[in-house]
Amino acid sequence: MIIEIDNIWKKFGRFDALEGLSLTVPEGSAFALIGANGAGKSTTIKILMNLIEASRGVAKVLGVDSRDLSRQQFAQIGYVSENQELPPRLTVGDYLAYLRPLYPSWDHSLEKSLLKQLELPLGRKIGHLSHGMRIKMALACALAYRPKLLVLDEPFSGLDPLVRKEFMESLMHQAGETTILISSHELGELENTATDVAFITKGKVTFQESMDMLKSRVRKVFVTLSRPATPPENPPGEWLDIRASGNVVSFVDTQYTEGGTNAQIMATIAGVHNIAAEPVALVSIFTTIAAATRRGSKQT
């Protein structure tokens, strides 16, 4: 595991931002951290990058307690955050020249192709770049040394859709050799690129699993009845967002299997005429589970 977090807590004054959060990120994965505003994603990432210390528990990065990461180990980690600080008075070219000798694995030809692909003007002062250009610059600086681990904290905020697409393409060029941990609210961007996903709610990981597993176990189910539909009286806890309209009862099943779900439907709903199930987009998985969690349901 390239990242192993075991039961970390973080207190800010009396407030617990993290409440026993555990997470493991496998090597080679593109791992998405998702969760509502204030759930604790940035706090977790800052602990991993040793920018802040956990109040309790251990977060290991590259096999080492993040508080003990050496300069050599940091040279294998790329970190890009929304509020990336870059020296405003240096030009793009000057800053790259400054960084190159700091990273033994700096790849010159990759640097050139990133500059071209991301259309970064070498001679312009960093302080004169737009927000999106600065984020692209930070990404180019982090990718050019082919880090073993790339940590991205909400890299898309404020980026236009074309830049987002270019950004993801640059990332995907390096997928596989680099493990990526990315926190973002842009679930559409993550849907086709992330291999694994963790949901963070109120300072804890509600669940983590592969994107394929998540997408196969969460399905929208439509049950057509031979009579006007009413919501079932005692539905299983894993059915969320239950609706009845016309002759159809629909719900999101968070533990879908064809046989299991069909049997539950037959045991719960009378007069079933037809059952259909379809995949659910990541954004709907998130909103459905987040709404259910807010209401206190434990079935995620």
Stretch in the footprint of ligand ATP (CB under 6 A) among 38-46, 159-167, 220-228, 229-237: 38-46
Residue 43 in contact with ligand ATP, rule: CB under 6 A: yes
Nearest residue (CB) to ligand ATP, 45 versus 223? 45
Stretch in the footprint of ligand ATP (CB under 6 A) among 10-18, 24-32, 134-142, 263-271: 10-18
Question: CA dihedral in degrees (165, 168, 172, 173; nearest 10)?
Answer: 70
Residue 38 in contact with ligand ATP, rule: CB under 6 A: yes
Residue 41 in contact with ligand ATP, rule: CB under 6 A: yes
Residue 37 in contact with ligand ATP, rule: CB under 6 A: yes
Stretch in the footprint of ligand ATP (CB under 6 A) among 21-29, 41-49, 121-129, 240-248: 41-49
Residue 23 in contact with ligand ATP, rule: CB under 6 A: no
Residue 42 in contact with ligand ATP, rule: CB under 6 A: yes
Residue 81 in contact with ligand ATP, rule: CB under 6 A: no
Among 3, 5, 25, 39, contact with ligand ATP (rule: CB under 6 A): 39
The binding site for ligand ATP (CB under 6 A) comprises: 12, 15, 17, 35, 37-43
